[in-house]
Amino acid sequence: MGRRGRAIVNDDPDKVAPRRANARGRGTGKGASDAKKRLRVTGARVSAPLKKTKVPGVYRRGNRYAVLYRDPYGRQRSRAAATLAEARLLKSALTAEVARGEYRALSGVTFADYFPEWIASYAVRTSRGFREQTRQEYKRDLERHALPFFGPLKLAEVEPRDVKRFIGQLIGLGLTSSSVRRRMAPLRTLFATAVEDGLIRSNPTSRIRIPRSPADRPDDQEPAKALTEAELARLLNELPQESRLFVEFLAHTGLRFSEAIGLRWGDLDVKQQRLHVRRRLYHGVDAPKSRYGRRDIPLAPRMLDALQQQRRSSNYAEDGDPVFATRAGTPLDYACVYNRVFKPAARQAGVPWAAFHTLRHTCATMLFRNGLNAKQVQMWLGHHSPAFTLAVYVHLLADDLPDPDFLDALTQRRETKRARPAAADAAAVIELAPARRRRRTAARFDSGQRKAPLRSSRT
């Protein structure tokens, strides 16, 4: 050590390290005001001192209040509040959470930091499974909309009002309410996982209602979801000959477009007159959309004959070749077939709103109209629930309602049962009425006479 206890630099007694100045200026020979000036010049911030309040554990710091408490591990932590009343409630809530074992420290992780980790490691929270294609769709939607909006915010700072502002921004982009609902799905899931990871206490997206969007169609202007038999016939007539079988096949089977282009000749069971749905082509070869999508569909005799004839005339007729292929033997492309073939034919047929998925709705409606029950239609389409099939895919017309003549027969039988008696029967009822009243009066009198001696004996 050198002079006055100061350290010697590089073993040279003549070189002594100067004393460091603290906030009060000690050891420098200068006053505290000089130290404060230097702090102001360098831009350093000095925290305001804590002042006790009448509430234990709550201190005033400048214009705000600091709440001091200890977490379950005994470490002292602090939270800020704007008013004394808010600080008192926060202190009570934190103390109760620690006592109940429900305390979770607020995380400093931002949305931008948590998103890559979540999207890479997320496993579905339900038993239905989670596809990599769904992961890519979640990533695309969050990167396009949610990440620019919530990115700089800490997860613990996101509140329901922030989520409402985000929904308003999506609606302002011209999205419909159903499109907003789809883009909110990955955001809700991300925050739900953050709750499970202990990063936040509650999910700010829960109980948030999606309002109607100006882009939504009015209820009375919703387009039809299924073609009538006449509309389907007009559509088939407007199609080129080489594309007519494919569209008719979709109306017969109700397959999704991705399932239809994923069919191979080996999936066609001629003996059983069945079609085995085992895969779909959606950003590559994939399993059906759900476990219910793996199914066997019966084929009408004429449709089966048409498919066999197409196989005999095709250059790609091996079991592994696609049933519906281009001239090069590759599966059909949705955008190409829709824009070049289907859409022009739909306009000519007077159904410009129709799409490939319309044929799936048309199939469900025709099946139900021709006697299949809800369970059978559900299995045919590969849905998870008959109720969902009925509510979404079956579209009955006013002419499909039954004849209400049977209601007249029901009400007529009830009126016959409640009809008044004939005149002779009515007179007999009138004559019997006084006799019944006389018998009831006599019975009451006799019972009173029998009880009278008992009352007198007690007295």
pLDDT value at residue 277:
93
User: Residue 402: which residues within 8 A CB-CB, separation 6 or more?
Assistant: none
Beta strands in 310-433 (DSSP E): none
Contact present, 212 and 218 (Cβ < 8 Å) = no
Distance CA 254, CA 260 (A): 9
Residues linked to residue 274 through DSSP beta bridges, in sequence order: 269, 298
> If one looks up domain 229-398 in CATH, what number appears?
1.10.443.10
Give me the sign of the Cα torsion angle 173, 174, 177, 183.
negative
Taking only the tens place, the pLDDT of each residue in 144-177 is: 999 999 999 999 889 999 999 999 999 999 999 9
Helix (H/G/I), strand (E/B), else coil: 184: helix
Rounded to two decimals, the pTM is: 0.58
Q: Which amino acid is at 428?
A: A
Give me the sign of the Cα torsion angle 410, 412, 414, 416.
negative
Cα 52 from chain centre: 49
Give me the sign of the Cα torsion angle 416, 422, 425, 431.
positive
**Which residue is associated with the tokens 């009955």?**
396
Q: Report how far apart, in Å, the C-alpha atoms of 24 and of each of 39, 47, 415 are.
A: 11, 14, 103
Cα 430 from chain centre: 70
Question: Most distant CA pair in the chain: distance in Å?
Answer: 142
Contact present, 54 and 47 (Cβ < 8 Å) = no
Each residue's pLDDT expressed in tens, for the chain with a length of 459 residues: 444 444 444 444 444 444 444 444 444 444 444 544 544 444 445 567 888 899 999 999 888 999 998 888 888 888 888 899 999 998 898 888 888 877 766 678 899 999 999 998 887 655 555 677 788 889 999 999 999 999 999 998 899 999 999 999 999 999 999 899 999 999 999 999 998 888 888 899 998 999 988 887 765 455 568 899 999 999 999 999 999 999 999 999 999 999 999 999 999 999 999 999 999 888 778 888 788 889 999 999 999 999 999 999 999 999 999 999 999 999 999 999 999 999 999 999 999 999 999 999 999 999 988 889 999 999 999 988 988 888 888 876 566 667 777 777 777 765 565 655 555 555 554 455 555 555 555 555 455 544 444 444 443
**Helical (H) or strand (E) element with 177:** helix 177-196
Architecture (CATH level 2) of domain 111-219 = Orthogonal Bundle (1.10)
Distance CA 275, CA 301 (A): 12
Distance CA 47, CA 291 (A): 61
Using left for φ > 0, alpha for ψ between -120 and 50, and beta otherwise, residue 148 falls in alpha
pLDDT value at residue 235:
95
Contact present, 147 and 102 (Cβ < 8 Å) = no
User: Residue 380: which residues within 8 A CB-CB, separation 6 or more?
Assistant: 254, 295, 297, 363, 364, 367, 372
